[in-house]
Amino acid sequence: MTDVAGTYPIDSGTLEVVRDDLISHSWLLKVNGVPSSHLHLEDPSYLDFEYMRWMAYAMESFVSTYLDPTTLRITHLGGAGCSMARWCVDRWPQSRNTVVEFDAQLAQLVRRLFDLPRSPHLKIRADEARKVITSARPASRDIIIRDVFDHAHTPTHFVTREFVSEVSRSLSPQGLYLANCGDHSDLHLARDEIATLASVFSEVAVIADPPMLKGRRYGNLVLIASHRPLVQDHSPAAAKLGTKLLGGAVPAHYVSYSALPRRLRGGSVRRDP
């Protein structure tokens, strides 16, 4: 493909496309200065961001247990370069992925600059993500992934009980919800998000690397929720998932709700104003 490196105007500011000099055929996308996506153009199964790999491992484990990979309906709230959606199409070729991206110009640019799978396998919808979930038909989604950020923060209306209740309503009874939670060492947001998820879903778990679980730095946690049993501690499925999580460049742990450390317990359920 032609060299697409450069800075482009988008509705919310700028998109910077930077060639990855360490990995051939790869590009890093920065939205308003924040790394938002990494695309390996010849290998959609490659995920450079560790939290996306953690999500992928969790989805593989859940889909193999509960869902039909030939009929998967996946909604991605937050799109940028559509890295996760590309991975899903590659992993489950018959899946239907809808990426909801608030920045319409960003969505158009990504389509123009990169060879993304086409609809119905990967559809990009320029819209406000919460509005889309609120208007979704009940039980119309198998997996919902929240990766919505305004600069480096998750907008507050995506972390409330009312929003999570709409996610639950939109999911099929065997559905899965995954959320990328960026938090500081105090883990205040993660603690509240976990409490909020547990007020709606019967099963909640977390994937994070040890420094994040110990509250030592800013970083990402993957929050997982469902009304179906998730991977249980000390089970064969947990061992298999644990091996994958430990094998990456940033080793991580899967922690079920009952095994959460004290610093991730006792949060407040967040509500809409």
Say yes or no to pLDDT of 193 above 80.
Answer: yes
Q: Are the C-beta atoms of 78 and 148 separated by less than 8 Å?
A: yes
Residue 257 near residue 265, CB atoms below 8 Å: no
pLDDT of residue 198: 98
Give the model's confidence band at 250: pLDDT under 50 very low, under 70 low, under 90 confident, else very high: confident
Q: What is the pLDDT of residue 3?
A: 83
pTM of the model: 0.95
Per-residue pLDDT for 233 more than 80?
Answer: no
How far is Cα 158 from Cα 132, in angstroms, rounded to an integer? 12
Q: Is-contact 77 143, C-beta < 8 A? A: no
Query: pLDDT tens digits, residue range 75-134?
Result: 999 988 999 999 999 999 999 999 999 999 999 999 999 989 999 999 999 999 999 999
State the average pLDDT over residues 17-36.
93
User: What pLDDT score does 96 carry?
Assistant: 98
- Which pLDDT value is given to residue 216? 86
**Whether residue 151 has pLDDT greater than 80:** no
The CA-atom distances, in angstroms, between 199 and each of 60, 112, 168, 196, 215 are 25, 42, 11, 5, 23
243 burial (CB, 10 Å; 0-12 / 13-18 / 19+) is exposed
- The pLDDT of residue 40: 95
pLDDT, tens digit, for every residue of 38-68?
999 999 999 999 999 999 999 999 999 999 9
**Unique residue bearing structure tokens 């064969």:** 236
Residue ranges and CATH numbers for the domains of the chain are 48-264 (3.40.50.150)
How many angstroms separate the Cα of 53 from the Cα of each of 71, 83, 90, 110?
Answer: 22, 11, 14, 21
Question: Model confidence at 192, in pLDDT bands (50, 70, 90)?
Answer: very high
Tokens of 180: 């990328």
**Strands, sheet with 171-183, edge to edge from the N-terminal-most edge strand:** 122-126, 96-101, 73-77, 141-146, 171-183, 219-226, 203-208, 253-256
208/223 Cα distance (integer angstroms): 9
pLDDT at 1 over 70: no
Q: Which of 153, 156, 176 is CA-nearest to residue 224?
A: 176
